[in-house]
Chain A
């Protein structure tokens, strides 16, 4: 497949591993490819979906993430601190905590498995706007409400 150039979208979303897997499984990796400019993942999520040695080399999501290093964002300023603070709570893992920290500090929406009440509940408690992978695909979130995302795309 010919690689499309990476152009960050104005509206960006932080993803957890589960949402990426769900989109890849149900909609195919092409959907991710089409919307890649809107996707931000943390290094920890990258590990969970692409670098974990238990993941097959031929896994399409793994290949997508490795093909598009621009998706991965590193912690900045006080995001590390926020990550550790969220991680110190029970019931969530490091991938989800890292996504929450970045979504919170950069004021970005977090795409998270909606069945996942623990992580979703925690994210909401922190004031993070959350949406499910289906909402992301259907573009349910109102763009008027997330104008702050524009700043993020410049900061990447």
Chain B
């Protein structure tokens, strides 16, 4: 039995304090102002020349959007050198603190997933392919479709397929629609994608997923992207390439052309004509679908933009109960890993609740539901 009174003082790791601050792009001065200490004290804590008391530590945890245990254990470094391809003229620094906190939450989720996987002694293999910069988007998309065993039909469950390939996918609400998606390869977390859960309809998120996947397979680096509803207004360069891959992957030319002709639609179809095909069959927004139709010359150029001056109305297609929020946000992989770790007695119920971002009462209900 361990005699705790003989043990050493716990260590508040300065590097962890520093990493948490830097991900939010805050200066020691800004932190000091928020928690009412001097900037010198913040720097001294980060250098481990002195240590904060518990109240100060709790204030920093709240400010940085972290749990206190983040400062007590060495954890992987959050994604670095993030390239922000947002709305014109915006830089990462222009993101609000609320939007940057979403990146912190993503890092916390990746850290939680890694912790549970290490407790289970299981690390899912990553089977995602890599492509060269010179590989054309069409070839990349076709290769990936071949990997999935698909010809020209829609991809009904891209998210599940990618999770099976070892990609961590999370859907979190991003305030102010600040960005659509974020992707990065991490030495320890592996390939990760974050989707803005507030983007509606769901087809838009499906497009963002394919877009971020393109960044991953081309190894474009940590990419924080804003994808406008009108695809023609996207950032040039890498964003254009990623959009092309997404279009070719989700809307293969032969499949889309065949489908359009079979339905005998005019060259200026209405929203009502396009909605069931775009949303229900191909799982994309009408804009993305229309962009593709214009692209292959099936409808008149500019027709889609003229249909919508603004964003299309949100339609919920699937009726009936929705899965709980944590399942939609965290994806099946982390949810299953969390419950398995709990069932095997490797994590406590409090840790399970924290991992799933639900209350302990809700965690108890879920456990009961799953045990039936």
Seen from chain A, the residues whose Cβ lies within 8 Å of a Cβ on chain B are 16-18, 21-22, 25, 48-49, 52, 54-55, 59, 61, 75, 80-85, 87-88, 90-96, 104, 113, 115-119, 121, 125-127
Contacts and interface: CB of A to CB of B under 8 A. Distances in A.
Contacts of A92: 347-348, 350-351
A73 to B, nearest CB: 15
A115 B4 CA distance: 24
A113 B353 CA distance: 14
A81 B8 CA distance: 10
Contacts of A117: 345
Given A116-B349, A121-B345, A126-B4, A87 B72 contact: yes
Contacts of B10: 81, 84-85, 87-88
A88 B9 CA distance: 11
Nearest 8 A/B pairs, CB to CB = A117-B345, A93-B350, A119-B348, A88-B72, A84-B10, A85-B10, A80-B54, A17-B360
7 contacts: A21-B364, A25-B364, A87-B72, A91-B346, A92-B350, A118-B351, A119-B350
Contacts of B1: 125-127
B361 interface: yes
B7 interface: yes
A54 B347 CA distance: 22
Contacts of B67: 93-94
Contacts of A25: 364
B68 interface: yes
Interface of B is mostly: loop
Contacts of A118: 345-348, 351
Interface of B: 1-4, 7, 9-12, 53-54, 67-69, 72-73, 115, 118-119, 345-351, 353-354, 358-361, 364
Contact of B115 (A80, A90, A96, A125): A90
B347 A113 contact: no
A126 B72 CA distance: 19
Contact of B360 (A18, A85, A88, A104): A18
Contacts of A61: 361
A42 B32 CA distance: 28
B359 A52 contact: yes
A55 B359 contact: yes
A75 B53 CA distance: 12
Nearest to A113: B349
Contacts of A113: 349
B2 A126 contact: yes
Nearest to A124: B1
Given A75-B54, A84-B10, A85-B10, A93 B354 contact: yes
Contacts of A83: 54
Given A54-B359, A88-B69, A125-B2, A93 B12 contact: no
B115 A94 contact: no
A84 B54 contact: yes
Contact of B350 (A22, A48, A75): A48
Contacts of A80: 53-54
Given A18-B360, A48-B359, A55-B359, A85 B7 contact: yes
A55 B364 CA distance: 14
Contacts of B7: 85
Contacts of A96: 348, 350-351
Nearest to B67: A94
Q: Count chain A CB atoms within 10 A of each CB in B10, B72, B115, B358 and give the residue with the most.
A: B10
Given A85-B7, A88-B10, A93 B348 contact: yes
